[in-house]
Amino acid sequence: MEKLESIDVYKSKKDIDHELLKDYVKALKDEEFKRLVARLGVNEDIAKKYTSKLERSVCELKNCANCQGLVFCKNAIAGCVYYPKKEDDKLRFNYVACRYKQEEIALDGTRSITFEEPYAIKNARLADIDLTDKKRAKVIKWINSFYKEYEKNAHIKGIYLHGSFGSGKTYLLAALLNELAKKKVKTIIIYYPEMLRILKASFSDDFEEKMHDLKTCDILLIDDIGAESVTSWSRDEILGTILQYRMDACLPTFLTSNLTIEELEIHLSQTKNGVDVIKARRIIERIKQLTVDMELISENRRK
């Protein structure tokens, strides 16, 4: 009886080994699979035991080949590749961060932890900017100039970029800030109405810390100013305080808006308590001291 049982076990192992080899040979027809095995430097006896896992790695590597950013990631864990490493006579599989995830990790070291931004903004890169739209040429030229000049002078003027809805104002400037963040420049990109909401909600928690970040970061991008409901508090206590500090410290400040600077002045003068032209003008004068005024009128890229 024991002899018969040992023969059955032997045949079972043999069958399993045959199936493993069959699956492995089939997988080798995929050139990417073959190249991965070659890179690992493992022999057939080892590799065939991990065929299914290696196929998963190959599948995720193929997903990465044409990926445009984390928001488009098709892998099981966004921003990571299931990748093998040879250890003695075994393969160990771990999740390894892709280049986009590595960039995000690097940016996290130069971004304030108190403010989050959309993936599309986090992934904006200068290399991905559409250069075919001539209407953007002037802004792109300014961006390239700022990028080169900032290395020599960290106290140059930012930009007040206004123009048509969906023309890519935020993306263009975010791409610039993301490139600078790779060089350990501390940046914050914040949607203005959301910034006000966050600050209002943090009065009893970490309001001073958040205000400190906004005032002192190397470069600040306030996105979509003019989209908020104006109050004396948001205009004078928040925006005025931030801009005054950054003006005194000569810290580059970027603002985007659908309003011209003249239209923004009118917008800022009007609160539910009435019209205050003087206080609105004070804000505008700070913006003019901090930025160059530039317009971008282009097609709506959000359609």
For the stretch 210-223, pLDDT in tens is: 899 999 999 999 99
Tokens of 173: 């400037």
Token look-up 């001291």 returns 289
Two tokens, residue 247 = 């003006």
Q: Is residue 289 part of a domain?
A: yes
Give tens-digit pLDDT for 42-54.
Answer: 888 888 889 999 9
Of the candidates 291, 247, 288, 283, which has an alpha carbon nearest to the alpha carbon of residue 267?
283
pLDDT of residue 9: 42
Kindly state whether residues 74 and 174 are assigned to the same domain: no
Could you tell me the two tokens for 280?
């609105």
Q: Mark the ranges of the chain whose per-residue pLDDT is less than 50.
A: 1-11, 113
> Do 245 and 156 reside in the same domain of the chain?
yes
Residues 31 and 57 in one domain: yes
Across the chain, the runs of DSSP E, i.e. the strands, are 80-87, 90-97, 158-163, 187-191, 219-223, 253-257, 270-271, 274-275, 291-296
pLDDT of residue 108: 57
**Domain boundaries, position 70:** 2-99
pLDDT computed for residue 261 by the predictor: 96
Residues 6+ apart with CB under 8 A from 258: 162, 163, 164, 165, 224, 226, 227
In contact, 176 and 147? CB cutoff 8 Å: yes
Q: CA torsion sign, 248 to 250 to 252 to 258?
A: positive
Q: Does one domain contain both 149 and 201?
A: yes
Are 75 and 113 part of one and the same domain? no
Q: Indicate the number of domains in the chain.
A: 2
Whether residues 160 and 185 share a domain: the answer is yes
Going by the DSSP 8-state scheme, the letter that residue 235 receives in this structure is I
